[in-house]
Amino acid sequence: MRTILLRIEYDGTRYAGWQIQKNGLGVQGIVEAALTQVVGHAVRIHSSGRTDAGVHAHDMPAHLRTEVMMPLSAFREGVNRFLPEDVAVREVLEVPDDFHARYSARGKWYRYTIYRGATRSPLACRVSWHMRGDLDLELMRAAAGMLVGEHDFQAFRTSGCAAQTTIRTIFAVDFVADGDFLHLDFKGTGFLRNMVRLLVGTLVDIGRGKRPIEELPRLLAVDPDVKSGPTAPPQGLCLRKVWYDFDASDKGFKWEDIHAADRRTKNPEVSSESP
């Protein structure tokens, strides 16, 4: 048996999320059907996590087990022939038998994109949150700095979150300006259900002056008298990268922080989210 890792990119606009669902079209089912056409047997893939309806992914890792001995390029090119235009396998790797796309993950990077143009953009509406009005970016950066480190993010999850612990470690929250676009990059060991979108909604409330920055430490202290901001719209969120041990040369991830997290816990639970 071989263990094959696929890194999958998709536009989540027309999907009910990553996971196979009874009442909606999931990306997972689309990929499994294409794989079945290529390898000639029923396939079940296991991903690093899940994304909600309308959320995108540049790098959703998923692995499968198969006895088919075709070259790795055939998994990529062959599967892509049977996939719609909004889903593609970007990379294929053969990994050790004990690899698991979920449990072997070491960290994740989610990007949330805000479009700040004066008028709406038909080309940007599928991948960003159009926001009019001023934002106090310095205040938002100061608030984002409070999120870095190990905290209890219980206030930043929605119902249905099955995580056994709400403790998570965020390594960085970066603000990247790109013309009319503002990208908020969240990197950490893992995220709770809708955690990133709730964090964005809270930061935006602070930037708009609708919420005092002093409420953020109270949210991280799980003060029951303080509620998080609104859940930001799904189309602005994209899973940019999931890191594994073999990605250790990637300079986009702070491996020294991962090792520090390992010393605190043996199970960072990086994949129980739909951020």
Q: Which residues are catalytic?
A: 52
The letter for the amino acid at 249 is S
What is the Cα–Cα distance from 193 to 59, expressed in whole angstroms?
A: 18
Helix (H, G, I), strand (E, B) or coil at 96: coil
Sign of CA dihedral 94, 98, 103, 104: negative
Helix (H, G, I), strand (E, B) or coil at 207: helix
Sign of CA dihedral 43, 45, 51, 56: negative
Rg (CA), the chain: 19
Specify which residues 65 forms β-bridges with. 3
User: Residue 219 burial (CB < 10 Å; 0-12/13-18/19+)?
Assistant: buried
- With beta carbons less than 8 A apart as the criterion, state whether 39 and 78 touch: no
